[in-house]
Structures are given as structure tokens and as C-alpha cells.
Amino acid sequence: MRERWRAAAAAAAVGLALIAWPVLPGQPARAAAPETVAAAECDVLAPGASAAAEKAVRTACSQVGVWYSWGGGHGPAPGPTYGVVDPTDPASEHDPERRGFDCSGLVRYAYAEATGRDILNGTAHSQYNTPHATARFGAGEGIGPLVPGDLVVYGNARKVHHIAIYVGAGKMVEARQSGTRITVSDVRLGGDYFAAVRVNGSPGQGTFSTWGTDVWTHTEASTTSGRVHKFAGPTSVRIALQKHAQSVTAEGITNDAWSYLPDYRAWITNIYIKGPAWLDGVPTCR
């Protein structure tokens, strides 16, 4: 009798568990289960890439499932950040609550982790035009010449609006748009597919890194000259020349050495270049 009672009680409990109880007025509704992400295989899917490019691919793949967030990944240092609202995209209304990456933020983070240097800090357009490029491939070449780690870009020569990382086998890992998560997709050829670029992750001659935040470059080797570009955080830069000019005191350091950055057509005080006050191996501007 007791066993029959236990069986009946168990059956009743199961039945109660299956009832969808109504939500009473003033009673909070049960939160929806978190969205799950079914990602395609993400890894280095073809040979031919450099060690740095393979590491960039695997770093990006480690972020599959993380939210796209407009402006995400563009903090002082590479890595996920909360985004901002894109005034042209209603789907971005929750981006300030979502810690993640936009397309260029993901590319920046992947290559910073792969190289140990912030070599792709900037927009998708500036990443395509990076001085660290070793090869470029037009849309007409398709994916034939691409190897894992190459950057595939969408837009045109005047404005690149999207960038992703090729992983091989016709696929790319990307942070595509607000309301979605980082995922693996087929490379979308045709339409506004523009080109691809291969990045050299090895330090080149004359390549240094800035430090500090909100550091301005100038049209001349003087803080009173016009401002050109602001480095939000540490950035890899090429230096063509250096010279003695205006003495500057900042961060408790005084130095009269300035370096010329050919990719920005601007000068920066050597105070904000990692290394000695006078940089080794950089020619002197006479």
C-alpha cells in the first residue's frame, strides 16, 4: 500500500511539473533560458599560414559565441569591452550591455595575442591599409590564394566597412553585426566583397610601440604644432627618422628627441615610444 502511495505521489509530482502555471498579476515572469550558440568548427583548416597567423586564427576562434558589440574591442588595450549604440542600427540598442567585439575589435585582439604587439589597432579600413601587409588579393582572385589568418574585407577602396579572419576551407570567423554572436561563416564572395590582405606578424625594421593613453602626434616636432592623430593606447608604429627638437616634459620624463611616423605623416615625442630616449637603429634627420 505504501509503495502504491509513493508511486502515485511521484506520478502526481511529474504531472505538476508539466503544468504551465499562469503568471499572476504583479508576479515577475520567469527569465528566458540563455541563448545557446551552435558554432561550426573553428580552427586552422588549411596549411600555409605563419605561426603568428595560426595563433591569430585560434585566438579569434576562442571567442566564438561572444556577443558582437558595436565599438567593442577598442579600449586602451586589445580585448573585449562594452559597446555603444550605433545610431544607424536599432539592433545595437543592447550593445552597451554586451561585452564583446565589433569586426575590427576582434581582428585587433586576435593579432595582438598572436604577436604580442598591438599592430592592428584601428578601424576595418585602417586594418586593410596596414603597413604590416605583405600581400593583397583582389576580389577577382577569390579565395584560391588565401591562407588561414588572411583578412577578408568588404566595402571599397574609399571605405572598408567589414573585416573578418580567413580560417581555410572557404570559411572565416567574424563579428558580423549587432544582435549576433561571433561565429564561423562561409566567405561571402560577390556583392561588396572587396579584397584580402596578408599580415606580417614579425617585427619589421624600424617598428616600435607607443605607450600611454590618448597620445597625440603633430605636424611638426613641437607640441604647439597641429595635431594629427591620437593613439588611444599602445600601438605598433613604423619610425623613419628621429631628430632633436622641442624639449618636452611628460610622465616625469624630459626629452628633446622626436620621431617621424611615415604612416601618419606626423611626429611624436620619443617620451611615448618604448625604448631609450634616443632610439637605436633609427636614422637621424639632418
Active site residue 162: yes
Catalytic residue among 74, 132, 162, 218: 162
Element of type H or E holding 245: strand 241-250
Tell me which of 74, 103, 132, 218 is the catalytic residue. 103
CA proximity to 53, closest of 132, 160, 131: 132
What residue has cell string 593583397?
Answer: 136
Number of neighbouring beta carbons within 10 Å of residue 123: 18
Residue 103 among the catalytic residues = yes
Q: What are the b/e assignments for 253-276, b being 16+ CB within 10 Å?
A: eebbbbbbbeebebbbbbbbbeee
Work out whether strand 193-199 and strand 151-155 pair parallel, antiparallel, or are unpaired: antiparallel
Give how far the C-alpha of residue 233 lies from the chain's centroid of Cα atoms, to the nearest Å.
Answer: 14
Active-site pick, 42, 61, 74, 174: 174
Give the C-alpha separation, 197 to 149, whole Å. 9
Catalytic center residues:
103, 162, 174
